[in-house]
Amino acid sequence: MNTRALPEPGTSTATHTAIARQLTEDAATALLDPLDTLLGREGPSAEVTALRNRLSADAEMWAAQVTGADERLAEDTMSRIVSALYLHGTDFDPPAAWWASPFGRLVARRFGHPTATAVPLTVAAAMLGITRQGVHDLVNRGKLHREPGGHGVLVSSVRQRLNPA
Along the chain (165 residues), what's the average pLDDT of each consecutive run of 10 residues? 43 90 96 87 80 96 95 96 91 92 96 93 96 96 92 95 88
pLDDT at residue 162 in the model? 95
The answer to whether residue 33 is domain-embedded is: yes
Structurally, how many domains does the chain consist of? 1
Q: Are 59 and 24 in contact (CB under 8 A)?
A: yes
pLDDT at residue 4 in the model? 40
The answer to whether residue 104 is domain-embedded is: no
Q: What angle do CA 82, 47, 79 make, to 5 degrees?
A: 10
The answer to whether residue 56 is domain-embedded is: yes
Domain extent at residue 24: 1-93
The answer to whether residue 120 is domain-embedded is: no
Strand partners, 119: 153
Between CA 16 and CA 20 the distance in angstroms is: 6
- The SS3 of residue 156 is helix
Between CA 16 and CA 72 the distance in angstroms is: 19
The answer to whether residue 123 is domain-embedded is: no
- Burial class from Cβ neighbours inside 10 Å (0-12, 13-18, 19+) for residue 79 reads middle
pLDDT at residue 142 in the model? 95
pLDDT at residue 103 in the model? 97
Name the pTM for this structure. 0.86
